[in-house]
Amino acid sequence: MIKVIEDRFLLETENTSYLFRCLPSGHLEHLHYGKKIIISDDFRPLSKKIAYLPGNTIAYGKNCPTIGLENMALEMSSLGKGDIREPFIELQTSSGITTTDFLYDSHTITCSKQDYVGLPSSYGSDEEVTTLVITLKDRYSECTLELYYHVYYQTDVITRSAKLINTGTDALFLDRLMSTQLDFDHSAYKMTTFTGAWVREMQLNHQMIQAGTLVNSSRSGVSSNRANPFFMISAKNATETGGSCYGLNLVYSGNHYSAAQVDAFCKLRVVSGMNPMGMRHTLEAGDCFQSPECVMTFSDQGFGGMSRNMHQFIKDHIVRGVWQHKTRPVLINSWEAHYFDFNEAKLMRLAKKAKQIGIELFVLDDGWFGNRNDDTTSLGDWNVNNKKLPGGIEGLSKKITELGMDFGIWVEPEMVNKDSDLYRAHPEWAVEIPGFEHATGRNQYLLDLTCLDVQDYLIQSMSKVFSSGAITYVKWDMNRIFSDCHSQNLPAHRQSEFSHRYVLGLYRVLDALTKAFPDILFEGCASGGNRFDLGMLCYMPQIWASDNTDAVSRLSIQEGYSYGYPQSVIGAHVSDCPNHQTLRHVPLETRYHVASFGLLGYELNLSDLGSSVLNRLKQQITSYKKWRKIFQFGDFYRIENPTLPGGYNWMVVDEDQKKAVGAVFQKEAMANQMDLIFYARGLDPQTTYHFYNIPTKHNVKLFGDLINTASPVHIKNGSVVQHLVSKVYQLDGEHEDHYVSGSLAEFAGIKLKQGFGGVGFDASVRLFEDYASRLYYFDRAIGGNTNGTFKTDL
């Protein structure tokens, strides 16, 4: 809802209020964004009171002698006129002037959401979203700034963007245009960012905000695994379940910049948008520039409440198309099974094993085209390698579909190897500086997506690939960052526009291909999570979270993503042990449990596995399919569990609170450990649930020589006898089975079976080795009788 009372603006969602007003000077004073408040038409209690300007500050003008912009909370700010904080906009006129002063001119309100030209953005029906556009005009130059506010009432989200329009006859030079600016009355907050590297994405960082500036940014050309564009501003004492928390994210896939700055008066300014470093854009007469959309949400229910707001918004208003709310198939990916070393016979053996255990989609990864036997050659040559695949993609996909599986394929369209027919034919399409030694990444060059001919080539070549067989899934990869940027397509004064123009070119390609192939499930990837952002999710319903498939590493990676992204967009696979990235050994059950809290896939050579392991995988997949909708689309909860030190506790709950799945993940085993209690979240307090687990089996090898305390014959550790015994005999794990109310599960917790303590073991003891985990299920119980037994709502 948007309400305007004279010079005052009120934006409301179901649980939040956003207020600002127009000052007598024409500037916009920010008044409040946060928990919903009841307010009359009189906003004066929220307005700043000034009788005299503080010393050593700048008076705005002789007609407003008590207005000093440095000490005001504003909706936007610019260089000059006394505000020396992080600006919203920076530009230079053709005469070299950098001072601007954007003042209120007009506004419009519509019950709709228009697309941004060339940029992806959120969407909603006329009933779901209302738009306010504030038009500001600069006093000194001939340009107009439009501030866009889109209010999504039901999901507690407000999005912002801005558009600069050159209404004059001379060129303007734009050096910064943020997407949002939030000014807070005090700085008692912390900033939470998610940083990392390749195979180490989304590591959570809490930083108390103090005097100075905290920055979260990317200059790698993409949204980056170094610093994801999602971040949080929260009360210093905020927890998972309580305290004020703001979440902000950009619908953009390129260089970004977010800053939290404390000024001389202890106010906090937060800005977020495109990275201004080296981004100068020239706007000729009549040109305009739109900043990417910034998504903002607030919750007084802590990090968890904020996350669920953001999750619902992404599911309803970012992801789109056939796959928006459709459950995703369980897949097998060929990469860690065979890397580049495969032929059709190997792939078919893998596919047949996959079909036997219930896998639904076979994905052919890198190595199927050109002379691609390693990563030094053939990117750009999207012709099938007939030595590996004599029947081509059409022949292989036909054989896969005849098995009863869908077929998918890997591509990396934005790249080219120097050793490729494409480079030899069009060296000018590669991003390199003439006369300079080029700096490569993974032996490859970027293609110049600022060039329309390159964009058209990608659309045509990928259309040919996607039409070459029964392809229902595409993994779109991008395995290097930007460096030594230069386009032979751009004049010298526009070289600073390269990075943004590249992103716009990519969006044009993706828009064309996803519209041409609406039924294909696209999965984004950039060396894992190097381009995991809302911009890509507007075209691709899911993204590969990390090239690291180690389940222990994935705990922090996937929990990091969960703060800003729903599990329905997070690709996660079960791989072999020792893991290929860490050489760590992790129990098979844990590998499955971690991956099940994303979009489940498998990435290992099934042909090398014995029947017992394949049967366990089959059981996993059967169970996952039963609970798949909840795993992928349920409300996600991170649980702070004091009885699980150093571990992770997650839970997903369906929307009607009838079913839920919880998980506990342990890092290292603890001797004589404390009692483990499972605390649920998100259940109906008044409902009774059947709480249970599926008992696991323990290999006798796990006990080593200790097995001799129970064995009638001596079994030497590591012996052939031990191996044979392990083949035919396994020890039963514990079984949890209770009927509990939702309130008991959440506020008291369910005490689980005693943990193994080295003094005895049987089926009543919970054995948690290093990296062990369990899944616990909740089914709503219906009926009941005097002895306390119930039926479950299956």
Q: How far apart are the first and last CA of the chain?
A: 40
Q: Among residues 406, 448, 477, 635, which one is catalytic? A: 477
Amino acid at 709: T
- pLDDT, tens only, 550-571: 999 999 999 999 999 999 999 9
- What's the burial of 655, exposed, middle or buried (CB within 10 Å: 0-12/13-18/19+)? exposed
**547 catalytic, yes or no?**
yes
Four-point Cα dihedral 112, 117, 122, 126, nearest 10: 10
- pLDDT, tens only, 203-259: 999 999 999 999 999 999 999 999 999 999 999 999 999 999 999 999 999 999 999
**316 catalytic, yes or no?**
no
- pLDDT, tens only, 279-309: 999 999 999 999 999 999 999 999 999 999 9
210/213 Cα distance (integer angstroms): 8
304: left (phi over 0), alpha (psi -120 to 50) or beta: alpha
Confidence band, pLDDT 50/70/90 cuts, at residue 692: very high
User: What's the token pair of residue 706?
Assistant: 């200790």
CATH code assigned to 2-317: 2.70.98.60
Q: Which helix (H) or strand (E) holds 501?
A: helix 498-516
User: What's the token pair of residue 399?
Assistant: 């054989």
Q: What is the mean pLDDT of residues 177-199?
A: 98
User: What's the token pair of residue 38?
Assistant: 């009841």
Quick count: other Cβ atoms within 10 Å of Cβ 179?
Answer: 28
pLDDT for position 169: 97
Asked whether the predicted pLDDT for residue 788 surpasses 60, the reply is: no
Confidence band, pLDDT 50/70/90 cuts, at residue 783: low
Query: How distant is the alpha carbon of residue 742 from its chain centre?
Result: 30
Q: What is the percent of the chain where pLDDT is above 90?
A: 89
- The size of the chain, in residues, is 794
| Alpha-carbon torsion (261, 267, 271, 277), positive or negative | negative
pLDDT for position 785: 36
Q: What is the mean pLDDT of residues 118-145?
A: 98
- pLDDT, tens only, 694-748: 999 888 888 888 888 878 889 889 888 888 888 888 889 999 999 999 999 999 9
Backbone angles phi, psi at 506, to 5 degrees: -60, -45
- Picking from 364, 326, 317, the residue whose alpha carbon sits closest to that of residue 342 is 364
Parallel/antiparallel/unpaired status of strands 28-35 and 89-93? unpaired
Complete DSSP assignment for 455-469: HHHHHHHHHHHHTSS
Amino acid at 357: I
Q: Which helix (H) or strand (E) holds 543?
A: strand 542-544
The H-assigned helical ranges of 729-780 are: 742-743
Delimit the domains of the chain by residue range. Answer: 2-317, 331-629, 639-696+733-792
Contact 626, 600 (CB under 8 A): no
User: What's the token pair of residue 527?
Assistant: 């060396």
507/537 Cα distance (integer angstroms): 11
Asked whether the predicted pLDDT for residue 789 surpasses 70, the reply is: no
- Picking from 149, 248, 183, the residue whose alpha carbon sits closest to that of residue 46 is 183
Backbone angles phi, psi at 380, to 5 degrees: 105, -20
710/715 Cα distance (integer angstroms): 10
Four-point Cα dihedral 617, 619, 622, 627, nearest 10: -100
Asked whether the predicted pLDDT for residue 268 surpasses 80, the reply is: yes
- What's the burial of 247, exposed, middle or buried (CB within 10 Å: 0-12/13-18/19+)? buried
Find all residues with CB under 8 Å of 517, minimum gap 6, and list them. Answer: 463, 466, 474
- pLDDT, tens only, 341-377: 999 999 999 999 999 999 999 999 999 999 999 999 9
Q: What is the mean pLDDT of residues 40-61?
A: 89
332/620 Cα distance (integer angstroms): 14
pLDDT for position 724: 83
pLDDT for position 699: 87
Q: Which helix (H) or strand (E) holds 423?
A: helix 421-425
Contact 258, 216 (CB under 8 A): yes
Average pLDDT, the chain: 96
272/86 Cα distance (integer angstroms): 10
What is the 8-class DSSP label of residue 330?
Answer: P
711/705 Cα distance (integer angstroms): 10
- Picking from 542, 554, 417, 422, the residue whose alpha carbon sits closest to that of residue 476 is 542
481/224 Cα distance (integer angstroms): 9
- pLDDT, tens only, 340-349: 999 999 999 9
479/198 Cα distance (integer angstroms): 10
178/88 Cα distance (integer angstroms): 5
Asked whether the predicted pLDDT for residue 793 surpasses 50, the reply is: no
- Picking from 280, 259, 300, 444, the residue whose alpha carbon sits closest to that of residue 370 is 444
| Alpha-carbon torsion (348, 352, 355, 357), positive or negative | negative
Find all residues with CB under 8 Å of 31, minimum gap 6, and list them. Answer: 19, 20, 21, 43, 46, 47, 73
Q: Among residues 381, 547, 550, 654, which one is catalytic? A: 547
Confidence band, pLDDT 50/70/90 cuts, at residue 108: very high
Q: Which helix (H) or strand (E) holds 622?
A: helix 611-633
CATH code assigned to 331-629: 3.20.20.70
Find all residues with CB under 8 Å of 309, minimum gap 6, and list them. Answer: 155, 156, 157, 247, 297, 298, 299
- In the chain, what is the greatest distance between 2 CA atoms, to the nearest angstrom? 99
- Picking from 11, 327, 356, the residue whose alpha carbon sits closest to that of residue 156 is 11
What is the 8-class DSSP label of residue 64?
Answer: B
197/163 Cα distance (integer angstroms): 33
* 176 bridge partner residues: 90
Q: What is the percent of the chain where pLDDT is above 70?
A: 98
Contact 158, 11 (CB under 8 A): yes
Contact 681, 302 (CB under 8 A): no
Amino acid at 682: G
Strands (DSSP E) contained in 442-515 are 445-446, 471-476
What is the 8-class DSSP label of residue 112?
Answer: S
pLDDT for position 51: 86
The Cα-based distances of 389 to 257, 358, 410, 764 in angstroms read 45, 25, 15, 53
CATH code assigned to 639-696+733-792: 2.60.40.1180
Contact 414, 478 (CB under 8 A): yes
Tokens 């696991």, located at residue: 696
